[in-house]
Amino acid sequence: MSADVADADAMRRAIELAARGLFTTDPNPRVGCVIVRDGRIVGEGWHRRAGEPHAEVLALGAAGAAARGATAVVTLEPCCHTGRTPPCADALIAAGVARVVCASQDPNPRVAGGGIARLRAAGVEVVVGTGAREARVLNPGFFARFERGRPHVRLKLAASLDARTAFADRRRAWITGEAAREDVQTWRARSAAVLTGAGTVRSDDPRLDVRLAYGDRVRQPLRVVLDPQASCAPTARVFAGGGALVFVAPEALAAAHAAHAGSPGVRVEALPRAAGGVDLEAALARLAALEVNELWVECGPRLAGSWLERGLVDELIVYYAPRLLGADAPPLAVLPAADDSAGAHFEFIDARFFGRDLRVILTARREESACSPGS
């Protein structure tokens, strides 16, 4: 077996391991590592959560003395800085590995090639690029945060076959079935934050929390509400239990602080105004500063239209129920008339059934890049 084929096989295993941290590693990336010696995996590990050992350290620990002279295959460049844990590049050097294969350079400027340089300076052979696309798919938000200064944005919509998102009389009722709603829980669970608008809070009073357990505990995402006029009642369920952030317009900041003064764990911040509400780009920049990698958006048609019109949606996830709601029902998104060059184009990447409902996933294809981020 050639080295390239062996590296690719080992990287696939490392990616499988990295995926085990899908719901737990934020704000760190999901990373897996295997130690290979004489064509056999002698140690493997994956990063579980921030502050705990990184994948390389766990894999080296499992390999023990067999790591000397072996190849370490890791889904992201080994770190070279001391954060909550020591540098992984140093651990690999100390263990005596002869070769490191990593999928890509770390976009974090605290690493950004430094780990690779440190390994090479110590005489370790380093190969970069094996399985790069597949490994990147696991961490779209981590790359987006450092490369674009904002989280990876997923917009979720639930609609009828005629692209309507609620009943015409606006009564509160589910459009999709239980299986589709359980799938939404998995997307919320992998997201660092879940965002909605004031209109949805007032009309639906959602919790926007995670109610399914993954592993040994449930990590609740930050719940974010865009409430320009501070119109949401502090007793709304989205604010229960803390862990919420309210973005308001500057002129509503004092009123919002007063309204939420007795709400523990609820933060209020002002954002610049924009047409129809607050500046969405500013919201994304602030969330990136809070180390939000992946943002899950569930909102009404007007706010959904704003995200789409601004070209800020990286993935569009739509659940279609096999029913018709009629022309008087609210639409999928409120958008202005647009020519073919406006906003973002999308391409289908997945379609599958959840119960009787069909879920489709699309990624954005913007003209300037002609490519889309992974999901």
Which residues are part of the catalytic machinery? Answer: 56
**Which H helix or E strand runs over 46?**
strand 40-46
Please tell me whether residue 212 adopts helix, strand or coil conformation: coil
Phi, psi for 74 (deg, rounded to 5): -135, 145
> Are 198 and 252 spatial neighbours (Cβ–Cβ below 8 Å)?
no
Three-state DSSP at 300 gives: coil
Rounded to whole angstroms, how far apart are CA atoms 258 and 201? Answer: 19
Cβ 22 vs Cβ 137: under 8 Å:
no
Nearest CA to 303 out of 155, 116, 123 is that of: 155
Tokens of 144: 């987006």
| 222-226 and 244-248 beta bridge pairing | parallel
Mention every residue, 6+ apart, whose C-beta is less than 8 A from residue 3: none
Q: For residues 152 and 33, give the distance between their C-alpha atoms in angstroms, rounded to a whole number.
A: 24
Residue 165 token pair: 């998102």
Burial, 358: exposed, middle or buried (Cβ in 10 Å; 0-12, 13-18, 19+)?
middle
DSSP 8-state secondary structure symbol assigned to residue 78: P
